[in-house]
């Protein structure tokens, strides 16, 4: 009895092992159209390997290359414009600097050209003084030269500062002395002009040197 039971247990054990082996083999078999899994190795394409091509046949890589070339062309064009503009500005700066230097150097040319005739008049007067016997004629000649010079100053915007008997003004006068005066209406006023002052347009070119009453 004991041997019979042991044999039955061994037979049951062997049967269980055989059933487990059959189940593993069935699970590893691929399914066909009747429930079996498809074999991907038959197809020539692997998943995720499709080419990224647009409808018109242009790939994304071609588009990127085209955009890069366009950007490079625009950059080259901008660099060329910058170089040309920089060169033009440098030429303009040099020309302006040269013109400014010439203007500063020859700024007084126009005025000196007008002054030269007055110098000619003075030279003629000095030469005539050596042999002149008519003092009235000499005086008239000097008055003529003085009139020409006054007109020259006026044409160039220079005018005399009227100072005598006017109130002392530190903006246009320079007091060189103070003197006592008897009249009350002359106190604080200019009683004598030592050196005339001048305007150029509305700016003081030279202050008048005056004597002020107190």
Q: Which is it for strands 158-160 and 198-200: parallel, antiparallel or unpaired?
A: antiparallel
Q: What does the domain layout of the chain look like in residue ranges? A: 89-156, 159-214
Q: Which H/E stretch holds residue 211?
A: strand 208-213
* Sheet (strand 203-206) strand order: 158-160, 198-200, 203-206
For the segment 79-113, what is each residue's pLDDT rounded down to a tens digit? 989 999 999 999 999 999 988 888 877 777 878 88
pTM of the model: 0.51
Residue length of the chain = 214
Give the residue, 184 or 197, on which the prediction is more confident.
197
Give the residue, 145 or 18, on which the prediction is more confident.
145
30-34, 110-114, 174-178, range with greatest mean pLDDT: 174-178
Q: What is the pLDDT of residue 57?
A: 53
Q: Round to whole Å and give the CA distance between 114 and 109.
A: 9
Which DSSP letter does residue 59 get? Answer: B
For the segment 56-66, what is each residue's pLDDT rounded down to a tens digit? 555 877 778 88
The CATH homologous superfamily of the domain defined by 159-214: Head domain of nucleotide exchange factor GrpE (2.30.22.10)
């Amino acid at each position: 009895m004991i041997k019979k039971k042991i044999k039955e247990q061994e037979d049951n054990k062997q049967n269980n092992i055989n059933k487990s082996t059959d189940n593993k083999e069935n699970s590893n078999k691929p399914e066909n159209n009747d429930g079996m899994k498809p074999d991907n190795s038959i197809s020539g394409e692997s998943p995720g390997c499709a080419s990224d091509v647009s409808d018109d046949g242009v790939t994304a890589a071609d588009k990127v290359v085209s955009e890069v070339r366009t950007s490079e062309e625009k950059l080259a064009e901008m660099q060329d414009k910058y170089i040309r503009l920089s060169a033009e500005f440098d030429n303009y700066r040099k020309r302006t600097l040269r013109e400014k230097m010439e203007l500063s150097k020859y700024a007084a040319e126009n005025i000196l050209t007008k002054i030269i005739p007055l110098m000619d008049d003075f030279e003629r007067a000095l030469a005539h003084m050596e042999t002149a016997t008519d003092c009235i004629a000499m005086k008239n000649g000097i008055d003529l030269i003085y009139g020409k010079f006054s007109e020259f100053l006026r044409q160039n915007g220079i005018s005399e500062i009227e100072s005598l008997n006017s109130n002392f003004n530190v903006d246009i006068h320079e007091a060189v002395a103070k003197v006592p005066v008897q009249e009350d209406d002359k106190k604080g006023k200019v009683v004598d002009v030592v050196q005339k002052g001048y305007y150029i347009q509305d700016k003081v070119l030279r202050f008048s040197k005056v004597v002020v009453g107190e």
